[in-house]
Amino acid sequence: MAKPLLRIQRYFCRKPIRFFSLILLYLTAGSLVFLHSGFVGDSSPGARGGRDSIVASEAGGRASLSDTRGLGIMSRVFKETRRSGRRFGPRWMRRSGQTEHDSVGRGGDYTSSWNRALKGRNAKDLDEGRAKYIGCYVDDTQKRALRGVSFFDYKKMTVFRCQDNCAERGYMYAGLEFGAECFCGHKIQAPNASDSECNMECKGERSNMCGGANRLSIYRLELSQESARRYGSAIFKGCFHRPDNVTAALPFSAVIQNMSVDKCVDMCTEKEKSLAALAGERCYCGFPTPLFSLHELEEEDMCLQRCPGEEFESCGNDKFFVVYQTQVQDNRCMDRHFLPARTKQLVALASFPGAGNTWARHLIELATGFYTGSYYFDGSLYNKGFKGERDHWRSGRTICIKTHESGRKEINAFDSSILMIRNPYKALMAEFNRKYGGHIGFASQAHWKGKEWPEFVKNYAPWWASHTLDWLTYGKNVHVVHFEDLKRDLFSQLKGMVQFLGLKVSEDRLLCVEGQKDGNFKRSGLRKLEYDPYTPEMRLNIDELIRTVDAALKKRKMSGVPVEYMPR
C-alpha cells in the first residue's frame, strides 16, 4: 500500500503542474455540481417535471407535389436555466425585486415562467379562456379530423397548452386525443361522436378530459384580430391586384392540375420562395419587392374563385391573386453585424417597459443589418439572437441602445434618442404579463385578481408618464414613435427610424422585415382577459396622465398621442 502512495508522491514532486491541474479539475467539477443542483432545486412545476419532450409534426392527408413531404417530426427537450443580469435596471424596476428575465420560447417552450403563468388556474377557468368546447369527434390515423400541426406531450399535456399552441399558429380549432395528443386545424373533417367516448384524462391535469381512443375533444378558438390567418403552415396575406410586370415581380410560375392552396404553397416552398400567389390554375412564386409590395390590399370578394382541388378555399383569378407567405425564410434582411467602426454618438432606444422596445430592436436590426445594444444584460434576449446585449452600452459597436432609464443624468449620456410610446393601458398589461409570465407568457388569473395587479398599477402608471416627460425635457434630439403607429404602418414608420439613425434605406430590406416582423417575442392571441382589469379609480388616474403627456407632445410641436389613447 505504501509503495503506490510513494510513487504518486514522487510523481507530483517531479511534475507539480499536474497536481495543480487536478485541483483545478476538482474545483470545476464541484462548481458544475453546485450549478446543477441550483437548477434542479427550483420549486416551480416546470423544474420538478424534469424533461418535457414535445413532438411537433405535420398531420397527414394533405396534398403535396412531393412524396417526400410526409410527417415532419421535431423533438425538443426544454430545460429551465437561469442567468443573472450583469447590469441592473432603473431604480423603480429594482424595487420590484426582479433582477432577471425568464425565457419562454415559441411553439411549446414550457419553462418555469409558463408554469407560473398557469399557477392558480383550474378546470373552472376553461370557460374564461377564448375557446369553446364543441364536442367529441371521430379521428382516423389515415384521415385526420384536424389536418394542421400536431403536438404530443405524454407527461404534461393540458387543454390550455393545446389551445395556446394552435392559437399561436392561427388555427381555428384545437383537438385533444389519447390524453396527450394535440391536433390543430381550420375545419373539422370527421363526424361527431358521443361525449362519453372522449373519456381519457389529460396527462397534465386529471380534472379535464383530453379525448379518447381515436376520439378528439375539439375546441373552437376565438382568436383576436391580431392573430394571423393561416392555412396550415402558410400565412394568408390577402387578395392583391395582378402586378403590371408579373414575370419580373414573381419570376417563377407553373400551371397545376386540380389547384389547391397546399399544392401552390408546397411548390413555392420547394423553390425556396417566401410568397405563393394563386391565380386560378397558375401558381406564382417569389419575394415581396417594390413591384409587388403587398401594400395595396384588395377586397377579398375580388379573389373569390373556388380552387379545383379544394372545395372550401379560393384560388384567385387572372386579375386578382390570393397570396400566402410560406415557411421559407427571406434572407435579404437576416445578415446582422456590429458597426464596422466604433461610434462616439450614442443613440438611445428609450421606452417605458411593455412599450415594445424588444420588438423595435428586432425591426431595427433587420432593417439596418446592425446589432442593437442594451443598457442592461438579459441572457434570454442574447440567446434569442440579440448579440449586442452582451456588449457594454458605451462600446460604440451597436446602432442604438435599449434603455428604460429616465432622469436628467441618464438621459444626458445619450446624444440622440428614439422614444417609443405605447398606450398606457396596453403597456401596463404587457409589462405585468412579462413580470409574472416571462417575455411571451401570461400572468395567471390569480395574479390579475390578487393584490399584485392593483399594487403594480399604483406604482407603474405614474412612471409611464414621468418616463416620457423626462425624455421630452432632457433629450437632446428626440424622434418619437408611437407603438400603435408602427404596428399600423410598419414600412413608413420603420423607414423614418432608419433615416433618423443616419443610414441609407433599402426598400427590399424593409419589405423583407414586413414578412418577419413578429420575431421571437410575440404573445399568442388566445389568452386574453375576458374582463376589464382597470377599476374606475385606476382609469381616472391614467386618463389624467394621458392628457399630461399629450399636452407635453403638442407643446413641442409634435403630434399628440394617438386617438385611441384619449379617454372617451
Give 349-365 as a DSSP string.
EEE-TTSSHHHHHHHHH
pLDDT band of residue 368 (cuts 50, 70, 90) is: very high
Query: DSSP 3-state assignment of 53?
Result: strand
Residue with cell 392558480: 120
Of residues 332, 362, 207, 199, the one with CA closest to residue 272 = 332
| Cα distances (Å, whole numbers) of residue 307 to 65, 80, 281, 359 | 16, 46, 8, 37
In this structure, how many other beta carbons lie within 10 angstroms of the beta carbon of residue 387? 18
Comparison of pLDDT for 311 and 501, the residue scoring more: 501
Q: Which of 159-168, 212-221, 505-514 has the lowest mean pLDDT?
A: 159-168
Which pLDDT score, from 0 to 100, does residue 30 have? 66
Virtual CA dihedral for 177, 181, 185, 190, nearest 10 degrees?
A: -30
Comparison of pLDDT for 233 and 129, the residue scoring more: 233
Which pLDDT score, from 0 to 100, does residue 442 have? 81
Please determine, for residue 78, whether its predicted confidence score (pLDDT) is greater than 50: no
Comparison of pLDDT for 102 and 387, the residue scoring more: 387
Comparison of pLDDT for 527 and 212, the residue scoring more: 212
Q: Look up residue 236 and give its three cell numbers.
A: 394568408
The Cα–Cα gap between 474 and 98 comes to 27
Query: Taking the CA atoms of the chain, what radius of gyration do you get in angstroms?
Result: 27
Number of residues that make up the chain: 568
Which pLDDT score, from 0 to 100, does residue 102 have? 36
Residues with Cβ within 8 Å of residue 12, at least 6 apart in sequence: 18, 19
pLDDT band of residue 410 (cuts 50, 70, 90) is: very high
Which pLDDT score, from 0 to 100, does residue 44 have? 37
Percent helix, percent strand, percent coil in the chain, to nearest 5:
35, 20, 45
CB 480 within 8 A of CB 421: yes
Of residues 309, 227, 243, the one with CA closest to residue 275 = 243
Q: Which of 16-20, 506-510, 539-543 has the lowest mean pLDDT?
A: 16-20
Among 23-37, 175-189, 478-492, 552-566, the range with the most confident prediction by mean pLDDT is 478-492
Please determine, for residue 87, whether its predicted confidence score (pLDDT) is greater than 90: no
Give residue-wise pLDDT tens across range 19-63. Answer: 666 677 777 776 665 544 443 333 333 333 333 333 333 333 333
Which pLDDT score, from 0 to 100, does residue 13 have? 61
The share of the chain scoring above pLDDT 70, in percent, equals 73
The Cα–Cα gap between 484 and 496 comes to 15
CB 541 within 8 A of CB 535: no
CB 348 within 8 A of CB 401: yes
Give residue-wise pLDDT tens across range 312-322. Answer: 788 999 999 99
Using the CB atoms, write b or e for 346-371: b if 16+ within 10 Å. Answer: bbbbbbbbbbbbbbbbbbbbbbbbbb
Of residues 53, 52, 166, 44, the one with CA closest to residue 438 = 44
Q: Which of 22-31, 133-142, 155-164, 499-508 has the lowest mean pLDDT?
A: 22-31
Please determine, for residue 158, whether its predicted confidence score (pLDDT) is greater than 60: yes
The share of the chain scoring above pLDDT 90, in percent, equals 52
- CA 1 to chain CA centroid, Å, is 64
Q: Look up residue 159 and give its three cell numbers.
A: 387543454
Q: Look up residue 90 and give its three cell numbers.
A: 432603473
Q: Which of 237-241, 327-331, 391-395 has the lowest mean pLDDT?
A: 327-331
Which pLDDT score, from 0 to 100, does residue 72 have? 34
The Cα–Cα gap between 79 and 51 comes to 7
**For residue 5, how many C-alpha atoms fall within 13 Å in the half-sphere facing its CB?**
2
Which pLDDT score, from 0 to 100, does residue 432 have? 92
In this structure, how many other beta carbons lie within 10 angstroms of the beta carbon of residue 487? 14
Residues with Cβ within 8 Å of residue 28, at least 6 apart in sequence: none
DSSP sequence for 1-39: -HHHHHHHHHHHHH-HHHHHHHHHHHHHHHHHHHHHHHH
Task: For residue 274, report the phi and psi dihedrals to the nearest 5 degrees.
Answer: -90, -15
Please determine, for residue 540, whether its predicted confidence score (pLDDT) is greater than 90: yes
pTM of structure? 0.63
Which pLDDT score, from 0 to 100, does residue 206 have? 84
pLDDT band of residue 2 (cuts 50, 70, 90) is: low
Virtual CA dihedral for 554, 557, 563, 568, nearest 10 degrees?
A: 20
- Segment 90-97 shows an average pLDDT of 37
Give residue-wise pLDDT tens across range 232-286. Answer: 778 889 999 999 999 999 999 999 999 999 999 999 999 999 999 999 999 999 9
Which pLDDT score, from 0 to 100, does residue 142 have? 85
Please determine, for residue 164, whether its predicted confidence score (pLDDT) is greater than 60: yes
Which pLDDT score, from 0 to 100, does residue 259 have? 92
Which pLDDT score, from 0 to 100, does residue 59 have? 38
What residue segments make up the domains of the chain, in order of their start? 131-221, 230-325, 347-565
Which pLDDT score, from 0 to 100, does residue 9 have? 62
Average per-residue pLDDT for the chain: 79
CATH architecture designation of domain 347-565: 3-Layer(aba) Sandwich (3.40)
The Cα–Cα gap between 320 and 368 comes to 33
pLDDT band of residue 503 (cuts 50, 70, 90) is: very high
- Looking at residue 262, what DSSP letter applies? H
Task: For residue 199, report the phi and psi dihedrals to the nearest 5 degrees.
Answer: -125, 15
Comparison of pLDDT for 30 and 80, the residue scoring more: 30
Greatest CA separation for the chain: 94
Please determine, for residue 195, whether its predicted confidence score (pLDDT) is greater than 90: yes
Comparison of pLDDT for 84 and 401, the residue scoring more: 401
The Cα–Cα gap between 367 and 510 comes to 6
